[in-house]
Amino acid sequence: MVEFKYNINKFTLWQLAAGPIIILLLCLVFLSITTISTGFPMKPGVDFAGGTEVTLSRVYTEEEVLSQFSSFPLQTVQGQILRFNPMSDEQYNELTQNLSTFDRDATINRIDPIFGQNLQTLAVYALIASFIGMSIVVFVSFRTFVPSGAVILSAFADIVMTAATMNILGIALSLGTTAALLMLIGYSVDSDILLTTRVIKRKGKIEEKFSGAFRTGIVMTSTTMAAVAAMWVVSILGSIQVIAEIASVLFIGLIFDIFNTWLTNAGLLKWYTEKRGEK
């Protein structure tokens, strides 16, 4: 059986938290630049930007797709999923006629840009509201600034780092990926509360409490990552693009959660317990 070792006493707060904090600052700068240049911190998908999404009945070659839809505002091609920028009613009618001869079993979904912007606003409000609600619950649970702030900082860092990575990998913000970010907030708080509760509310030596929390938490996260990876593989094999994007966002977020929980949060908790005089 693998022996999990996590000796918190070997490291200072700066040694533990420096890396994740630097990455967080870089991600914030990257998202800020994206916001200044595009008006939104993340690339919106068809759900939020408006446009047309076509799901073909099978995978065609890139040459077949490009030659067939060269006269339309084709944005991206991902397997069987074609995404088009907003188009006029005439172009949309022409596209449906084109599809009826090219792939009669294809499905088409059109979202008006105004409706998409409304969805985008609601999604942002949902993320903000969930984060505020989470913060209130955390402060009520611990009623101490440093442990509560460490949990909130870790959850915030998970979302920011995941959002920046989504931009880099070209994963658009859609209804599905927004749901994944909301799930990630919940999971992040769960792992951070596990650590904070073990360290703050249990008796015993500091290194033993950290080690026990790490052993439980890392097994829990590893199991979740394995399940998410399996979901991603199945969705790719089944060409279920929405599930694949959700799984990708969750997997990315879980990787960042390991660093933010067991480096940033752990470092702040170690500093806090030392200030209280615990050994």
Give the helix/strand (H/E) hosting 165: helix 145-169
Picking from 62, 77, 111, the residue at the C-terminal end of a domain is 111
Residues 191, 103 share a domain: no
- Convert the pLDDT of each residue in 120-168 to its tens digit: 788 888 888 888 888 888 888 778 888 888 889 999 999 999 999 999 9
Domain with 95 in it: 51-111
76 or 231, which is more confident: 231
**Residues 6 or more apart from 135 whose CB is under 8 A from it?**
148, 152
Question: What's the total number of domains in the chain?
Answer: 2
- Convert the pLDDT of each residue in 197-228 to its tens digit: 888 877 778 778 888 888 888 888 999 999 99
Residue 55 near residue 107 (C-beta atoms within 8 A): yes
Percent of all residues in the chain with a pLDDT value above 90, rounded to a whole number: 19
Question: What pLDDT was estimated at residue 194?
Answer: 85
Residues 254, 165 share a domain: yes
Residues 31, 121 share a domain: yes
Q: Is residue 1 part of a domain?
A: no
Q: What is the mean pLDDT of the chain?
A: 84
Picking from 65, 90, 111, the residue at the C-terminal end of a domain is 111
249 or 90, which is more confident: 249
* Residue 84, strand partner residues: 52, 74
| CATH, residue 152 | 1.20.1640.10
Question: What pLDDT was estimated at residue 68?
Answer: 83
Residues 199, 268 share a domain: yes
Q: Is residue 3 part of a domain?
A: no
* Residue 55, strand partner residues: 81, 107
Residues 192, 58 share a domain: no
Question: What pLDDT was estimated at residue 5?
Answer: 61
Could you give the CA distance from residue 154 to residue 156 in angstroms, rounded to a whole number? 5
Residues 215, 136 share a domain: yes
User: Which residue has 């006493």 as its token pair?
Assistant: 9
Question: What pLDDT was estimated at residue 105?
Answer: 81
Residues 74, 130 share a domain: no
